[in-house]
Amino acid sequence: MKVVDSTFLISLLRNDERTLEKAKELDDEGGAATTVINVFEVAYGVFRGMSDPLRRLEAFERVVSNLDVFDLSYEAAMRAAEISGSLDRSGMGLDPLDSLVAAITLVNGAESLVTRNTSHFERIPGLNVEEH
């Protein structure tokens, strides 16, 4: 199973043609997942910046209802801390939310993370990154 990140979810809500094609491909492969962190990021954006957040939130909830949502576990939190600490030491810091998304993806054994922010995630050892 592949995990889709916030960039994918936002593009899907915007009916981006390339993302819609990728979503069909993922459905044909058996579906996809996202993380509870990505749910937070997109919902926060809806509440923060939309003039009609309830309508947009309903659309987002329809999208999420078709995905598995991986939670943040103790193991993933520790893995995210390891990822962040290691990257910080090497001078390649990463947003803590991105570290959490990557760690959740890794501990759940996902095949890859589908994102438009490949440069954020490609520096994480062991994480397969796929651009959409």
pLDDT single digits (tens) 91-112:
998 999 999 999 999 999 999 9
Please tell us whether the domain made up of 2-70+110-131 is placed in CATH 3.40.50.1010: yes
pTM: 0.93
| Bridging pattern class, strands 112-115 and 2-4 | parallel
> Quick one: pLDDT at residue 116?
95
CA dihedral sign of residues 42, 48, 54, 55: negative
With beta carbons less than 8 A apart as the criterion, state whether 85 and 108 touch. Answer: no
CA dihedral sign of residues 9, 100, 72, 111: positive
With beta carbons less than 8 A apart as the criterion, state whether 31 and 68 touch. Answer: yes
